[in-house]
Structure 1
């Protein structure tokens, strides 16, 4: 009797170890496949490395669909627009030239348009399963960044922010295009 209890306990422990090993190997293969989705998706964007950087930095990105990846990138667009506006407001307090003040005010309007129109349009379109409007919102954001840069006639203090917004918006548009 005593030996049979020991055998039963041993078999139960062995079964638990086998289940844990199977479960952990399945999790690893799922994680690998999900990370492959990020890599596969980013390969179809204009900036593979930047796409990987943003998506892999986002918690939960390895367990979402392509739509989820696009939503993450819309969030990055929003963050970049807020960063640009913060910089614009700082420059408006420091810079005194009338030409630069006009250009900064124009850029502020452009980035506000990204936050008020483009980001919500892309977000809502992705939620409703209408990727064409999401792509339009991302492309509009890229254009706003380009137009802001040209407002300064080659001497922009916002080049870093404008380039970042343009790149993120272009990546977002490319990911959304995969949903069409």
Structure 2
């Protein structure tokens, strides 16, 4: 009787330590829908995740990874935009410095998002969230660079890109929160 009780206690402790089974269920459109409902930007979440064919096979952690990857791609495209569009269209030394600083901030956002993926691999949702939050803030630093120089207008296209990255990060944070680790 003692060994049966010990096995029962062991099974209970393992069940308690194992994440909920819904985190490992293969994804489908219903899982994507239910996960996106828990984020700030449902439509962005749905359209982003539905654009990736791997979303349909993903669990919740996989959906977070996919969303972070989409945010990384967007930040990378913004870095390219800054380098190719804004930097090449001016000879103004101040503007060139500000644009280079902005490109550096978007590169830092990419690094933070990469770090968040590593934290997800370690099942550390707190640190993953911290890194995504940092990535969300870097574009705002870029915006502040423009404000520091009187008369230097913040490009509308860059403002749209900043807002989109912030929203993507909010979606990723919402998905990470669903993990509940």
Question: Same fold, TM exceeding 0.5?
Answer: yes
TM superposition outliers: structure 1 runs of 4+ over 6 Å: none
Superposition map of 1:20-169 within 5 A: 34-90=28-84, 91-115=86-110, 117-153=111-147, 155-157=153-155, 158-169=158-169
The TM-score normalised by the length of structure 1 is 0.76
* Contact kept in structure 1, 2:109 and 2:136, CA below 8 Å: no
Equivalent residue number for residue 173 of structure 2: 173
TM-score (structure 2 length as normaliser): 0.76
Partner of 1:23: none
Deviation at 1:100, TM superposition (A): 2.0
How far apart are residue 160 of structure 1 and its match?
A: 1.9
1:121 Cα deviation (Å)?
0.9
In 2, Cα distance between equivalents of 1:148 and 1:174 = 24
1:178 match: secondary structure: helix
Alpha-carbon offset, residue 68 of structure 1: 0.4
Name whichever structure is richer in helix by fraction: 1
Cα RMSD, aligned residues only: 1.9
- Contact 1:70–1:175, Cα closer than 8 Å, also in 2: yes
The 2-side partners of 1:106 and 1:73 are apart by 26
Cα distance in 1, alignment partners of residues 42 and 94 from structure 2: 37
Residue ranges of structure 2 left out of the alignment (5+ in a row): 1-24
Number of residue-to-residue matches in the alignment: 149
Q: Distance in 1 between matches of 2:120 and 2:91?
A: 42
Aligned partner of 1:10 in structure 2 is: none
Report the Cα distance in structure 2 between the residues aligned to 1:77 and 1:137, rounded to whole angstroms. 13
In the alignment, structure 1 segments of 5+ residues that lack a partner are 1-29
